[in-house]
Structure 1
């Protein structure tokens, strides 16, 4: 069986695993098998040639994260209080790792197949769970290396002690993110069951990511800007900010005096990861047993009456074949919880990110005065953040846990493959983007008044145009025909980067005409005409 260099590094920590009661030899074998299967896993069941591409897809994704990490590295080079710059850096890093972990690796922790296959062969639950966590940690470590590699280079100017502390901090953060998330899943598994459990897991993933993004705003507000310099004054509430725990350790290197609150954060940065590991190990048997609740796939019976979605399908899909795939896709989107895990967090971010930006711009002059100042501004253009975040849907619709069933496309009497893609596109807009956009629009109308409606109509047209071009310039794949990979987040980020150009053009023109309601109306009509005239060209599929 093929061995891996990373497993040789893992062998250095064999004693720790054994002290924790883990059968290291069996655990290593499980991890080794999983790494081999990761390399063999093909991308598409309909195209065997794609298997070769998938072997290197994770490493290709690392390049995307390395570029993102390069953008954050200058924070470390700033000549300011180390607590300030490292708090900002670690906040960014935690959000990145958490979003990747929840979207790409939650399914590994919540996997129930391993227990049925492996535990029945005599492997204890602690060893199986250690293999799960180690498998995840290997990938998260590689992601961390990609993101923080440029940070390490930027930190060379501060000497080897800084680099050593930086690397240890990243490792502790990785462990903390994995274990804390797993413990949160444990609580949900303990409290809920059936369909309610699965709904709560999806809701938790959204709330957890939003909590860290909002927390980033609080971290940024922990510092004041005085005389062209950042100033840090310890406050009791800083103890609630995990990024600041690890940043506080860098005060030890700078020789700054340690106040009581900073000392507490120093202690928390070490104690909390260790305690979380101990607690998790104690709860592993209960956690694995509760995972069986996820095996309940029963759905509430529904009457055979025509649903609202089907009525909408008749309204927006005049072609019968297109309507069939519209109903098919929107029905799968309603039931595929793996897809929801991948896409709902980014959709929620798209809906709430503009409001998070509004919060970050608030300077404490009174909420009423602030809202009035927003109404006379052009900050409604923040809605284009929703346009960017929604683009991941178009490239994620090709994935499914049941991708093996894609052979059905070969035997269906499909007259025009274009109808498959247009039905898929309309279903994604109706089922995923429209509800999120409506939620965001309600908040915008409350803040900016009734005049925001026409601007929101322009933004929604921008979503459709950008999504059409995202479809046009990406590889065309039939819906739900590909297997999920551990690189979806990198692919989603790359998609958003590519969409920025189109969004920039649409938003730029909107900015120019936004002060004149007549010009804005003309621009809206122009966007609608562009959609109508380019629709057939965009979805024209060459055989």
Structure 2
């Protein structure tokens, strides 16, 4: 195994571990194995491109450049004035967000690793050594993340504000890291105490989705953040700010740098120092209970079967006319609902499709709200279709792809209900809720007058989904590993498919220039959808992608 540089640096602290009765040689070997295994894992921040490299280098270390980039955008918060309570609270708040989300999304596999219990506990290895190895493992990654995220900003702060500012910032960042690790462990302990492991996995998955979505939206927001940088706030301390823990460390910086000593500032500072150590102490104290509760991750609670409502059954019969198509609709719906890796890749794109139309509306806003509501800017809703090709490609991937043999034994002579049921499940379960939310927002902004336009856009959405299915390579739904996703991205074809969005939007705009034009356009769209649907799913086994 590779002798990592991190372990070489850790060798200098061998005497410290020996003082606390830790078998350093065993701990080092455990860490070496863990770091080697980590090289095979792709960080959540790059989960959209899940193809792993074939070398032994650690993928997480390779991903740190994106955190360096976000760290550069934090620099202006150090330069906007001398109100350290305001600017450093923002700075520490952004830092806490990235550390907390990364801790849950990428380091949960470290904190919740049950392999130690299953493999090492029966071996002649001291429990303290095993626990210490887990803590050091987390500290290694938190340290790399911290250096990447705030290394450059702290150097800028050192140049601008001096060594005292740099020293206090380093202390505050260490305290924040301790607080994040301790709170995360205690949250997991609380969840496992009252719920099963599946609930915890769902929570982690939702945080991973939040992180991916935040990264996607962050690219748009960071470019616009400099608009508010010139605003120097006269933030004053209030009692309720005690619940905003980044302000604890902003208050500490305000006292040190500006000498503004107030009772609330002192209270914030005491909390900022005591609670991180208290959370770590509680984690260490209840570590045995935590390790015992981790066994819940090895079994699954039987899901409660939900009764199907008569309204839902009637609606399903209206959407899917044949029994086979309804069966595949239900199957695809369950896969989309329960497949964690699928949700991790699809949900951020769906969330971004809500934001994207408003980004273009804001870019074209000229401070005249009445003129905006009377305009045809509502056609920007077509930008939400940009994510359709990517999601259509993802429909053939699954973390449980080995179960695809079930298709071979299904009592159906045609593949048509399989594909049509899956596409309908995608449209009605994934995209329709997002589209209805967008419709509500657009109607509130532009008025009820655009309701016929929104109906036409939904028809074009269905038509566009069928066109994407026709032109993209065919494969059985949920039948391939996500490791092949990057190979199947079909980037040039996706760009070509986006031209159809421009065609739909252009024809829609032209139709609004004529009386009853939107009515004629809707008839044309419905007929086109009917014809495309009839032709799209006549697929045999031989035409499938091999």
TM-score range, shorter chain: 0.5 to 0.7
Q: What is the Cα-based RMSD across aligned positions, in Å?
A: 6.2
Give the Cα–Cα distance (whole angstroms) in 2 for the partners of residues 204 and 402 of structure 1: 22
Q: Does 1:93 align with 2:92?
A: no
The match for 2:3 is 3
Alignment partners' CA distance in 2, 1:327 and 1:296: 25
C-alpha displacement at 1:235, in angstroms?
Answer: 1.1
Equivalences for residues 229-240 of structure 1 within 5 A: 229-240=232-243
Question: Scaled by the length of structure 1, what TM-score is found?
Answer: 0.65
Distance change in 2, residues 1:163/1:395 (3 Å) = farther
The question of whether the paired residues in 2 share the 8 Å contact of 1:95 and 1:209 is answered with no
Report the CA distance shift for 1:203/1:100 in structure 2 as closer, same or farther (over 3 A).
closer
Q: Deviations over 1:384-425 (max 9, x none)?
A: 99889999967877875546x388599999x99999998766
CA change 1:28–1:259 in 2 (3 A) is same
- How far the C-alpha of 1:278 sits from its partner, in A, is 0.8
Hey, what's the Cα distance between the residues in 1 that align with 2:528 and 2:175? 49
Query: 2:28 aligned with 1:28, yes or no?
Result: yes
Q: Work out which of the residue numbers 279, 290, 293 in structure 1 matches 2:296.
A: 293
**For residues 162 and 329 of structure 1, what CA distance do their matches in structure 2 show?**
55
* 8 Å contact kept, 1:462–1:527: no
Partner of 1:66: 68
Distance (whole Å) between structure 1 residues aligned to residue 387 and residue 96 of structure 2? 19
Deviation by residue 1:17-47 (Cα, 9 ceiling, x = unmatched)? 566675544333222112112225699xxxx
Unaligned segments of structure 2, at least 5 residues: 44-50, 214-227, 360-369, 487-494, 537-542
Deviation for aligned residue 1:106: 2.5
Aligned to 1:167: 170
Match of 1:120 in 2: 122
Q: Deviations over 1:103-162 (max 9, x none)?
A: 333343334344222223244555444434433443343333333344234324223333
Match of 1:255 in 2: 258
1:217-273 superposed Cα distances (whole Å, 9 cap, x missing partner): xxxxxxxx9x96421211111221121122223224523312111222222222221
Give deviations 1:345-385, integer Å, cap 9, x for gaps.
8589769989xx9xxxxxxxxxxxxxx9x999999999999
* Contact 2:67–2:145 (CA under 8 A) maintained in structure 1: yes
Matched, 1:179 2:182: yes
Q: What is the alpha-carbon distance in structure 2 between the residues aligned to residue 230 and residue 395 of structure 1?
A: 47
Instruction: Indicate the SS of the match to 2:249.
Output: helix
**Selected match of 1:279 from 278, 282, 299:** 282
Between the aligned partners of 2:506 and 2:446, the Cα distance in structure 1 is 20
Residues 350-389 of structure 1: matches in 2 within 5 Å? Answer: none
2:233 aligned counterpart, secondary structure: strand
User: What pairs up with 1:515-530 in 2 under 5 angstroms?
Assistant: none
What aligned pairs does 1:303-322 form with structure 2 within 5 A after superposition?
Answer: 312=316, 315=319
Q: Confirm or deny that 1:84 pairs with 2:86.
A: yes
SS state at 2:237 partner: coil
Query: How far did 1:2 drift?
Result: 1.6
The structure-2 alpha-carbon separation of the partners of 1:397 and 1:106, relative to structure 1 and needing over 3 Å to count, comes to farther
> Cα gap change, 1:461/1:139 in structure 2, threshold over 3 Å: closer, same or farther?
farther
Write out per-residue CA displacement over residues 178-236 of structure 1, whole angstroms, 9 at most, x where no aligned residue.
Answer: 321221111111122376666677678889999xxxxxxxxxxxxxx9x9642121111
Asked if 1:266 corresponds to 2:282, the answer is no
The one of 143, 146, 149 aligned to 1:144: 146
CA distance in 2 between counterparts of 1:200 and 1:42 reads 19
Please give the secondary structure, in 1, of the residue aligned with 2:2.
coil
The answer to which of 84-93 and 275-284 deviates more is 84-93
Assess if the C-alpha contact under 8 Å between 1:391 and 1:467 holds in 2.
Answer: no
Q: Report if the CA contact (8 A) 2:255-2:265 is conserved.
A: no
Question: Contact 1:62/1:146 (CA < 8 Å) preserved in 2?
Answer: yes
Question: Is the 8 Å Cα contact of residues 346 and 390 (structure 1) preserved in structure 2?
Answer: no
Higher alpha-carbon Rg:
2
1:520 shift after superposition: 11
The separation in 2 between residues aligned to 1:524 and 1:12, in whole angstroms, is: 74
CA distance in 1, matches of 2:275, 2:152: 27
Do the aligned partners of 2:476 and 2:544 also contact (CA within 8 Å) in 1? no
Question: Which structure ranks higher in relative contact order (CA pairs < 8 Å, sequence separation ≥ 6)?
Answer: 1
Q: Say if 2:113 is the partner of 1:106.
A: no
Matches of 2:178 and 2:202, distance apart in 1 = 26
Contact 2:210-2:348 within 8 A present in 1 as well? no
Q: Partners in 1 of 2:139 and 2:467 — Cα distance? A: 37
**1:350/1:40 Cα in 2 relative to 1: closer, same or farther (>3 Å)?**
closer
Question: Which piece of structure 1 moves more, 180-189 or 299-308?
Answer: 299-308
In structure 1, stretches of 5+ residues that fail to align are 44-48, 211-224, 358-371, 489-497
Matches of 1:375 and 1:202, distance apart in 2: 38
- Corresponding residue number in structure 2 for 1:75: 77
TM-score, length of structure 2 as denominator length: 0.64
8 Å CA contact 1:338–1:401 kept in 2: the answer is yes
Kindly indicate whether the alpha-carbon contact (under 8 Å) linking 1:206 and 1:345 is maintained by their aligned counterparts in 2.
yes
Q: Which moved more, 1:174-183 or 1:116-125?
A: 116-125
Aligned to 2:286, the other structure's residue is in SS state helix
Q: Show the 5 A alignment for 1:382-401.
A: none
**Quick one: distance in 1 between partners of 2:122 and 2:158?**
50
- Whole-angstrom CA distance in 1 between matches of 2:476 and 2:140: 30
CA contact (8 A) 2:38 2:58 kept: no
CA contact (8 A) 1:454 1:520 kept: no
**Contact persistence 1:349–1:389 (CA under 8 A):** no
